[in-house]
Amino acid sequence: MREAIFILLVIAVLLGLTAFRFRKQIWAVYQVWRTIKSVRDLNSGDRKEQIPNAKGTEQLVKCVKCGSWVPKNRSVDLGSAVYCSSACIEKSATPA
Ligand SMILES: [Zn+2]
The confidence score (pLDDT) of residue 13 equals 96
Distance 94 CA to ligand 1 centre (A): 14
The confidence score (pLDDT) of residue 93 equals 86
Q: What is the pTM of this model?
A: 0.39
Alpha-carbon distance 76 to 82, whole Å? 6
Distance 71 CA to ligand 1 centre (A): 12
Distance 36 CA to ligand 1 centre (A): 15
Convert the pLDDT of each residue in 5-42 to its tens digit.
999 999 999 999 999 999 999 999 999 999 999 888 88
Convert the pLDDT of each residue in 37-86 to its tens digit.
988 888 776 555 555 555 556 789 999 999 999 998 889 988 889 999 99
